[in-house]
Every structure is written in C-alpha cells, then in structure tokens.
C-alpha cells in the first residue's frame, strides 16, 4: 500500500506484487505531527477500512507513506503510528518529490506541477536526474493573496462579495478556491484577477524548470486543490502550457504521489516488472474534492477501481 498525505487528507493506493492496482481511496490526514498520534491512528484505521475492508489489511505486506511537507522521514517514527493498527512486515517513508516522479513512470521527461496548499514543481529527466522548485509559502498562500487583493482593490466592484468569503468561520482551502472561482466566472473582476495571477505563477514555475528539459515533449502532470478547485486556473494553466510547450502532454496526475509510494514497496522487493506509463486514473481530482477534502471531518467516501494496470 502507498499513502500520500498533504496534512489535510490522505490518498491510498493498494496493489499486488505484480504492479496491478486493486483499490484506491481518500480519507483524513494521518500526519501525527499535525493531528496527534491518536487521531492519526484513527484516521489510518478508517482509511484502511475504506480501501481494503475491515479485514483486508491482514494481507498487506508493506506500506509506504509520503508527506508533502517532507517533515516525516523516519520509518521508526511511522512505526509508532502504525502500531496496533496494521501488522505489516515493513514500513517505509518515501521522499515526496521522488514519489511524484516515480508515480509518473514514462520514457519521457516528466514533471508534476503542484498547485494546492503549497506550490511546487518536481521534474525528472530521462537520465533520472530530479529537480524541485517551490514557491515561497508566504507568497503563494491563497487566503493571504485574497486578502492582499482586497486591500489593493478596496472600493472596486466585487470587493464586498470577496470580503464575505474571508469572514466565514473554518473555511477550508478547497471551499475558498471554489467560491472565488465561482465569483470570477460570474464577472467579479477582483476574483478574476486573482485566479489569473495564480495560474500565471504556476506556469512561471514550469518555465523556470524548463531549462532542465532534454526534449520538447515532456509529460506534465497536474496536481493540487487550487489547480482543480478553480476551473479558470485549470483552463488557464493548460492553455498557456499548450502555447509554450506545444509538444508536451499535459494531463491530470491526481494519484501520482500515492502511486509512487506504492511502487516504492515494489522497488524494495526488487520486482522484475517492466515500468510502463501509469498516469491515467479514473479517480479525478474533482471526485476527490467531492468525496473527501470538501466533505468535512466525517464526510469522505471511497473511490475504488479494480484491475488498473500500472506496470
């Protein structure tokens, strides 16, 4: 099993030793540093139950975790979370950047553009050299950018509508992005400026990373709640990338980090399977938003797909 955690939610991929994915699911975060070890264990139990059933985890041999924050790096630290919940022979922790590119196995240069709570781009060329570039969290923070836009545009049309979004108690990033996108598509100029600026900043990350390209036809995977929560951001990013890199293949890669974590368990086993392209997933980011990240503490559900071949 591979689990990718973004500190607010977790995506799980379960597969067999031959490289075939048999189940996927989404649930609450299992980051014990953020939520406490008791809550992390409870969330892990729920994630397991919704992925492989109440008894299915007995057949799991290995589990690999990857965290976007990269603050959790110790296998022994995760053993404390798993203890009493899951009895497996081996527990692994994989670097998030490596999980991203490992989950995008192809014979071309590959890149994952992340637009969510964090903004970063991870790139790996055909020779296996990996590069990573992050936006300054203080600059990227969507809520902060919204507040700055309101400060600059005080008195402009649409200011009141946007201000009301920040007054909502406990609003999550996914909900905020969707609300801003809805206002932008209805003609709110301040909201439209904000989503276009966000899209352009994401594309600029790709431009800066392009100096490492070895070919003109890389695969560019898209990932993140800002990218998929805002229809305008998504469309703008795809449009600009298409103009700048007309031979590139731009596509959703919502499961790439979790797939990469799962594939790390096969690497440890030294599986003889030959890697193939493993991007396309029936679990689209919109479904993840509806099933998990926007559903509240107890509102997540399972999205499952059998016989999805990744090797």
**The pLDDT value given to residue 68:** 82
First-to-last alpha carbon distance for the chain, in angstroms, is: 15
Q: In what order do the strands lie in the sheet with 90-94?
A: 90-94, 62-67, 2-5, 9-15, 20-28, 308-309
Interior angle at CA 62, CA 58 and CA 67, nearest 5: 120
pLDDT in the model for residue 36: 87
Residue given tokens 């406490």 in the structure block: 36
pLDDT given for residue 284 in this prediction: 37
Phi, psi (deg, nearest 5) at residue 21: -75, 130
Angle (CA) 250-255-259 rounded to 5° is 115
Same CATH fold, 107-252 and 1-104+255-311?
yes
Of the CATH numbers 3.30.420.40, 1.25.40.10, 3.30.450.40, 3.30.465.10, which one belongs to the domain with range 1-104+255-311?
Answer: 3.30.420.40
Indicate the domain borders of the chain: 1-104+255-311, 107-252
pLDDT score for 236: 97
Q: What is the DSSP string of 22-39?
A: EEEEEEE---HHHH-HHH
Which ranges of the chain would DSSP assign to H, the alpha helix?
Answer: 32-35, 37-52, 75-82, 96-102, 137-140, 142-152, 159-166, 173-185, 189-209, 225-229, 231-244, 256-269, 285-288
DSSP-derived secondary structure letter, 275:
P
Which CATH architecture does the domain made up of 107-252 adopt?
2-Layer Sandwich (3.30)
Q: Kindly tell me the burial class for residue 78, based on how many C-beta atoms sit within 10 Å of its own C-beta (0-12, 13-18, 19 or more).
A: buried
Q: Count CA atoms within 13 Å of residue 163 on its CB side.
A: 11
3-state SS, residue 287: helix
Q: Is 124 helix (H, G, I), strand (E, B) or coil?
A: strand
Residue by residue, pLDDT tens for the chain (311 residues) are: 999 998 888 999 999 888 888 889 999 999 888 888 889 999 998 998 888 876 666 778 889 999 887 676 667 778 778 887 877 778 889 988 889 988 987 888 999 999 988 889 999 988 889 999 988 887 888 989 999 988 887 777 778 888 888 887 777 888 899 999 999 999 999 999 999 999 999 999 999 999 999 888 999 999 988 999 999 999 999 999 999 999 999 999 988 999 999 999 887 665 444 443 333 333 333 333 333 333 333 333 333 333 333 32
Count the Cβ atoms, other than its own, within 10 Å of residue 113: 25
Give φ, ψ of 249 to 5 degrees: -105, 110
Where does residue 108 rank: exposed (0-12), middle (13-18), buried (19+ CB within 10 A)?
middle
Predicted pLDDT of residue 74: 67
Strand partners, 130: 124
pLDDT of the residue at 140: 87
């Amino acid at each position: 099993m591979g689990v990718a955690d973004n500190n607010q939610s977790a995506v799980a991929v379960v597969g067999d030793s031959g490289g075939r994915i048999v189940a996927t699911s989404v649930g609450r975060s299992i980051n014990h540093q953020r939520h406490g070890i008791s809550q992390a264990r409870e969330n892990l139990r729920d994630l397991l139950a919704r992925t492989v059933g109440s008894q299915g985890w007995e057949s799991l041999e290995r589990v690999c975790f990857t965290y976007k924050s990269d603050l959790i790096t110790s296998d022994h630290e995760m053993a404390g979370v798993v203890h009493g919940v899951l009895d497996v022979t081996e527990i692994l922790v994989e670097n998030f950047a490596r999980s991203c590119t490992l989950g995008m196995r192809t014979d071309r240069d590959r890149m994952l553009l992340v637009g969510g709570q964090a903004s970063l781009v991870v790139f790996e060329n055909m020779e296996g050299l990996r590069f990573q570039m992050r936006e300054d969290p203080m600059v990227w923070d969507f809520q902060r950018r919204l507040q700055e836009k309101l400060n600059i545009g005080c008195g402009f049309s649409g200011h009141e509508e946007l201000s009301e979004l920040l007054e909502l108690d406990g609003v999550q990033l996914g909900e905020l992005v969707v609300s801003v996108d809805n206002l932008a598509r209805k003609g709110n100029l301040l909201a439209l400026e904000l989503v276009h600026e966000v899209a352009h900043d994401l594309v600029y990350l790709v431009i800066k990373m392009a100096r490492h390209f070895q070919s003109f036809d890389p695969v560019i995977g898209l990932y993140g709640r800002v990218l998929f929560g805002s229809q305008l951001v998504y469309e703008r990013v795809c449009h600009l990338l298409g103009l700048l890199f007309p031979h590139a293949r731009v596509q959703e890669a919502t499961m790439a980090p979790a797939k990469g974590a799962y594939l790390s368990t096969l690497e440890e086993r030294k599986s003889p399977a030959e890697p193939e392209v493993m991007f396309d997933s029936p679990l689209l980011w919109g479904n993840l938003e509806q099933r998990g990240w926007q559903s509240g503490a107890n509102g997540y559900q399972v999205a499952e797909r059998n016989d999805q071949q990744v090797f």
